[in-house]
Structure 1
Amino acid sequence: MTISFSELDFLKPELGAEFTGDGVHFAVFSAHAESIDLCLFSPDGKEETARMALPKREGDIWSGYVAGLKPGTVYGYRAHGPYDPSAGHRFNPNKLLLDPYAKQIKGELVWDDALYGYRIGAEEGDLSFDERDSAPFALKGVVQDPSFDWDGDEAIRRPWTDTIIYEAHVRGMTMLHPDVPEDLRGTFLGMSSDPIVDHLVKLGITAVEVLPIQYFPDDRYLLEKDLRNYWGYQTLGFFAPQPRFMSGDRITEFKTMVKHFHAAGIEVIMDVVYNHTAEGSERGPTLSFRGLDNLSYYRLSPGDKRHSYDTTGTGNTLNVAHPMVLRMVLDSLRYWVGVMHVDGFRFDLASTLGRTRHVEFDRDGGFFDAIRQDPVLAGVKLIAEPWDVGDGGYQVGGFPHPFREWNDKYRDDVRRYWKGDEGLVSGLSQRLTGTAVQFNHSDRGATTSVNLLSAHDGFTLADTVSYDGKHNEANGEDNRDGHSANHSHNMGWEGPTDDPGIAEARARRRRNMMATLLLSQGVPMILGGDEVGNSQGGNNNAYCQDNEIGWTDWSGLDDPFVDFCRRMIALRKEHGCLRPERFLDGSSGDGPTEIAWFREDGHPMDEAAWGDAGRRLVMLYLAKTAQADDGQQIADQLLLVFNAGGDCEIRLPSPNGVARWQRVLDTGAEAPFEQVDAQEQTTSPGASVLVFSPAG
């Protein structure tokens, strides 16, 4: 078959490679290219079989239609234009470029100096020009047929008040699970296999937040150290699933995973990285965006366009202030929702996405406006990691509705409170009630804070109570990488121990912290593996550990802590007073009291009590009210006791006329959830969380 562009006046609005049923329409953006070549390859991607200049240009969209091409066609682009780094241009037609809209990517990147637009080692550095062909080493796109039998699958759209998030890594969750079939371990199909789904359903999880699954390569410097990019925060293909997570070569495996989770009532949230790409700084390779239009796709230094402007710590920053780059991000998000049926997104270093043309963060910026007016995206779950490494990048509380935000203040204050740091009662009270001081503005709700004890970045929960310091030696950076302020405590011994006293103290603190998380207002997020006591050996930056350090150890599957987590989640779901939609301010008006704070003597907390740095105990009363014909009535109420000190006599208060209480949780008891009638004067065991509900 002779390959050539059709002379028909065929124009489609979509960018990328779109199969029409009779052929393929190719379209790519570049504002500064002089011409762009479409290159077709053999099915294995090794031989270039055709090269043709895209014949049409509408504005800055280059396009062409090839009749007779089918799904499975392997392709890439070459862009012609000025190579003038000082002006921000780095066109080099010797470099094969990945389509930014590629729905599937062929193979893995093979690192070679030919992938760079300049000559590695040249005296002129990145001002030099490299003439070698990068095609033998470069990534190629694969034309896709988007059809898939969803069999009635629909989005779940569970309310935020009922959401329990479980952050997990597709490979990490499945590589060591004894019941996941070996041929499916590390894949989307393994992630959605019965053993994993059954575990999450029994635990009570409502949403899985998967670490990056959009295409990412392994960093060259990691491969040179016999490591690899495990976490995946170096995206290059914003529309393509990561091939290493597929058991075969069909992207429908991702759809199958989503379909299985939906059938079990579990939403799928994707961790996405739109703040930078894997091309790095101006000294990085030319793989896609840099070669197509460096000046448009990336933020460049205002004083010298030769250099990247970096607010992400990775060498480059995607220029979402450019309308066509913003369109690419929005098209990508809509693709994952509309075609792949995901339920939401967690945005990595989201402050970068809010930076305007003047690079300051703007909560009313174009990206946020575009999301909020989009009929597809405005209704899905949106979570921001509310910081980046640029000036003014820490923006916890600064994002607009409908974004929720990771709350690192929650993590730090809860860890410090149970570690015994002084002056934390006031901070704990803020975290228990949704961190209103940060989030209660602009009509944002009490579910704005995503509360976490641990996440992929940092210590696991087990390591938080087992190590005083980080142990990242395996990363090959002399333990210099990773956070040093972990607010952790080893309870008397660094690392694993056979000492029964230390082991019990650690188990108790894990129960206290997990109970605190699930009794707090906001949206709880559990790190996958924390419920089974997974440890990374003190490594708090396992980004490059695609091995037993980074994988979940399931040997603790029968540990009592798993059942504790399950029952705590069930307790949260049972009590609406733990899951308010609006912030509670303590003013009851003419109705019942909805929130109140008490000392151990049963009297309300006063200014002196809040200011007492040595205080280790606080009681929180919560009530959910319902509207009745004769006014507001109490629908649900609990009394919570958080005691980080020693054994203490407490007097249970009687808010809203509660006559008697029964204890429904004691994290220090052998049977934590045994229901026991409580006396007005009772004992709060040291280092424990107690929960009381009205008796009778």
Structure 2
Amino acid sequence: MLSPGKPYPLGATPSQQGINFALAAPSAEAVDLCIFDTTGNNEQQRLSLKEQTDGIWHGHLPSGKPGLVYAYRVHGPWNPKTGHRFNPSKLLLDPYAREITGTYDGSDLFLGHDPANPEKRDPRDNAAVALKARVATPLAPAATAGHARIAPGDRVLYELHVKGQTKLNPAVPAPLRGTYAGLAEPAVLDHLQHLGVTTLSLMPVQHRADEPRLLRMGLSNYWGYNTIGWFAPEARYWSGRPGTTPASEFRAMADAIHARGMELVIDVVYNHSAESDELGPTLSMRGIDNALYYHLREDDRSLYENWAGTGNCLNLGEPRVLQLVMDSLRFWACEMGVDGFRFDLAPVLGRADAQRGFDARAPFFAAIAQDPVLSRTLLIAEPWDIGPGGYRLGEFPPGWLEWNDRYRDTQRGFWLRQDHDDKAGLGDFAHRFAASSTEFAHRGRAPTASVNFITAHDGFTLRDLVSYDERHNLANGENNGDGHGHNLSNNCGAEGPSDDPAVLALRTRLQRALLATLMLSQGTPMLLAGDELGHSQQGNNNAYCQDNDTTWLAWIGTSAPGSDAARLGAFIARLAALRREAPALRSTRWWPAEPAPGDSSSPGIRWLRPDGEPMTPADWNDTGTALAIHFGHGTTAKEGDGSSSWLVMVNAGAQAVSFTLPPGAWLLCLSTDPEADTGDGPRALEGTAQVPFSSIGIART
């Protein structure tokens, strides 16, 4: 029998006295707690939660212990026009579930409405197949809860997919490939540290449900942006080893990453749930209290706002929904060892209602800012959604970082599209290279607020960016209509794989130029997993549903001495080392736009023409493709005192360019030109430096 229990904390909380259950459902008329056997297939007991306090239904089960499998049936009106979709025939997953059993198969048995008539309630019981929660044994608090470790100027992000990173890696024991444990293997972390990566950014690891459309095609939401369990690690990435759970294995992975002095960031989806639109399944919150949890249309509350393009949006303007998100974030930071979060479609989180739109002072941002734990985590926004005024680059609060897609597009346009109408000019290149001050130099924000990237999970890989002019997404089952249609790519003369030495050489040259630009730019660089290996998705620029060798990184042969992958990985490692060596290139303060007049030793960025003269307004506006960027403290710097001058010589043109060097004893540290870059160490330059076509040269005093 149930005793009254307490309305806090929400979820199922085990103790030596039993388990306390608490569920936020203020519009409900009654709530039943359903207890199942350990398989989750057979309902053994149904107990009514008699107590309701301020909209929280609660009760205490004295006999309850960790491992207990449970779910809810919630009673109330069925009236979609007023936003209510209660259906006690459908078993509902606790939004606070720490471990989830069962698999959503996309069948219409999960629908709360009659498949033939969406205005009517479906009476069929789905208890045998519904998703259910398993009460988890609490983990001890993480030793470094909520603390990002890496200095902002030193941070190098690496976006990866837990499964894809190790599924084909022969250095990982076979049972651990594609799992949290596999990612924690020494060989995997050794590779990342060799590249110079400081911060792992994992694609979604919260429990997901795949869309029915994909399931009907035999596919899945591989990327994972369809969350249904915000406290439960995705069990598909668990090795299943005896004595472990998804949570304990994730936590062990976090500990292994921290032991290397690295940070762990996870991609989180709080903008929508896997329940989709009004024709989607009833898995959890739709049946618990639809009108509370979701943004509903004012003109017809049977419909959902769809600013995320996925069918629904969570309503963080409601205190209980905001509490769910904050509790989830604290769980991952305090108990799972996560150091930061990348927020998918983050403007949705700043939309308290449909009328006011995005607000950087919305309740969510205020709650984060005042939280003693979360305010110290690494906070990264994807600063766009598809709602009205949904593009908000540069508008997030101080302390936040933002994915800078304009950096991506400018660098692609500069290096890959010089022969096209959509090319980027020198002014655009320079603005993005210097951390996009127009967007970020306000309210005390630092250059590191700009997360610079050339490639990310969404779009072409680096190899495909220089191998395909068109997307090749037929495998996704959408007639090649999905994904970006304008990629600013360049196939270098052949669409897809090629044996032509000239094509392959140009592709290598352009990849190196793009990577050097990324690693030398001010801001926070982000690498895409597999780019260092030359990973290709065969031209698929929207591989969200490809859980196969399209997305799994191919490691065989990549470490062989002299292989293309080994050379590219070594080149990235050298770039990262160069970035660490050059404080001027990773400054956390905005450089003065111009040095002090008449003071050649003052700090600043000097933008120079190839002849060594300062760039003029006319130079910025012409069609030139070459310039030099002089960072640092002029010619008075002393070797080893951290104030050395650095010169980045950029040539995106089709011909070699001779650069006149500023006064000083210059050493060429690195060239992106594969033929000129011998790897023999710095060499002295005498007054000028020749930079081959589509290349960068880096020199220092």
- Which residue identity is paired with 1:442? R
User: C-alpha displacement at 1:356, in angstroms?
Assistant: 2.2
User: Which one-letter code corresponds to 1:169 in the other structure?
Assistant: H
Q: Which stretch of structure 1 is more off in the superposition, 676-685 or 16-25?
A: 676-685
Structure 2 counterpart of 1:229, which letter?
N
* Pair 1:585 & 2:589 matched: no
CA 1:576–1:338 in structure 2 vs 1: closer, same or farther (change >3 Å)?
same
Q: 1:149 to 1:607 in 2, by over 3 A?
A: closer
How far 1:107 sits from its partner (Å)?
Answer: 2.8
Deviation at 1:649, TM superposition (A): 4.3
1:622 and 2:631 correspond: yes
**What is the DSSP-based 3-state SS (H/G/I as helix, E as strand, rest coil) of the residue aligned with 1:447?**
helix
- Alignment CA distance shift 1:161-1:103 (3 Å): same
Counterpart residue number, 1:686: 693
- Structure-to-structure mapping, 1:447-462, within 5 angstroms: 447-462=448-463
Deviation at 1:155, TM superposition (A): 4.3
Please report how far the alpha carbon of residue 147 of structure 1 lies from its aligned counterpart in structure 2 after TM superposition.
2.9
**Number of aligned residues:** 677
Structure 2: distance between partners of 1:236 and 1:411: 31
1:355 aligns with 2:351: yes
Task: Mark the runs of 5 or more structure 2 residues left unpaired by the alignment.
Answer: none
| Paired residues of 2:142 and 2:334 also in contact (CA < 8 A) | no
Does the CA contact (< 8 Å) of 1:192 and 1:260 recur in 2? yes
**Cα pair distance change 1:151/1:588, threshold 3 Å:** closer
Paired position in structure 2 for 1:99:
94
- Whether the aligned pair in 2 keeps the contact of 1:148 and 1:252 (CA below 8 Å) is no
Q: Which of 332, 339, 346 does residue 343 from structure 1 map onto? A: 339
Shift in Å, 1:359: 4.7
**Structure-2 change in CA distance of 1:581 and 1:624 (3 Å):** farther
Output aligned runs, 1:371-386, within 5 Å: 371-386=368-383
Q: Identify if the C-alpha distance between structure 1 residues 423 and 453 changes in structure 2 by more than 3 Å, giving closer, same or farther.
A: closer
Deviations 1:205-251 (CA, angstroms, capped at 9, x unpaired):
10100000000012211111111110000000000000111111602
Q: How does 1:393-472 map to 2 (within 5 A)?
A: 393-421=390-418, 422-472=423-473
1:250-649 matches, cutoff 5 A = 250=245, 251-357=247-353, 358-421=355-418, 422-555=423-556, 556-558=558-560, 559=565, 560-589=567-596, 592-612=602-622, 614-623=623-632, 635-649=643-657
| Whole-angstrom distance in 1 between the partners of 2:615 and 2:192 | 39
3-state DSSP of counterpart to 1:128: strand
In 2, the alpha carbon distance for the partners of 1:608 and 1:673 equals 39
Indicate the larger mover: 391-400 or 352-361: 352-361
Could you say what secondary structure the match of 1:378 adopts?
helix
Paired residue for 1:217? 209
- Name the TM-score, length of structure 2 as normaliser: 0.94
| Aligned 8 A contact 1:383 1:404 in 2 | yes
Counterparts of 1:5 and 1:221, CA distance in 2: 41
Q: Alpha-carbon deviation of 1:478? A: 0.9
Q: Given that residues 153 and 262 in structure 1 are in contact (C-alpha distance below 8 angstroms), is that contact kept between their aligned partners in structure 2?
A: no
Cα displacement (A) at 1:57:
1.2
Paired letter, 1:236: I
SS at match of 1:212: coil
Query: For each residue in 1:148-198, what CA deviation from the matched residue of structure 2 results, as whole angstroms up to 9, or x when unmatched?
Result: 486789945212111110000011001111111111111100111122111
TM-score (norm 1): 0.95
How far apart are the structure 1 equivalents of 2:67 and 2:189? 32
Residues 665 and 673, structure 1, Cα contact 8 Å, conserved in 2: no
CA deviations on 1:357-395 (whole Å, 9 max, x unpaired) are 235111111111111111110000000000001110001
Cα deviation, residue 18, structure 1: 0.4
Deviations 1:54-102, CA, capped at 9 Å, x for gaps: 1211101111111121110000011111100000000001110000000
- CA deviation string 1:249-273 (max 9, x = no partner): 6020000110111111111100000
Letter matched to residue 683 of structure 1: Q
CA contact (8 A) 2:142 2:336 kept: no
- Find the aligned partners of 1:154 and 1:446 in 2 and give their Cα distance: 23
Distance 2:688 2:256 in 1: 50
Partner of 1:652: 660
Instruction: Report sequence identity in percent.
Output: 43
SS of corresponding position for 2:568: helix
Q: Distance in 1 between matches of 2:486 and 2:518?
A: 20
| 1:47 Cα deviation after fit | 0.7
Distance change >3 Å, CA 394–CA 81, structure 1 → 2 = same
Is the CA contact 2:146–2:376 (under 8 Å) kept in the aligned structure 1?
no
Quote the offset at 1:634 in angstroms: 7.0
How far has the Cα of 1:598 moved from its partner? Answer: 0.2
Unaligned 5+ runs, structure 1 = none
8 Å CA contact 2:447–2:587 kept in 1: the answer is yes
Q: Tell me the amino acid that sits aligned with residue 587 of structure 2.
A: P
Structure 2 CA distance for partners of 1:112 and 1:682, relative to 1, 3 Å: closer
Task: Write the deviation string for residues 486-543 of structure 1: whole angstroms up to 9, x where unpaired.
Answer: 0000100011111111111101110000000000000000000000100000000000
Task: Say whether 1:239 aligns with 2:203.
Answer: no
Structure 1 residue 413 displacement after superposition: 0.7
Q: CA RMSD in A?
A: 1.8
Equivalent AA in structure 2 for residue 525 of structure 1: M
Structure 1's 547 and 95: CA in aligned 2 closer, same or farther, altered over 3 A? same
1:120 to 115, 123, 139: 115
Q: Match of 2:342, SS?
A: strand
1:475–1:545 contact (8 Å) kept in structure 2? yes
CA distance in 1, matches of 2:314, 2:613: 55
Name the CA shift for 1:425/1:643 in 2 (closer, same or farther; >3 Å): same
Task: Say which SS state the counterpart of residue 63 (structure 1) adopts.
Answer: strand
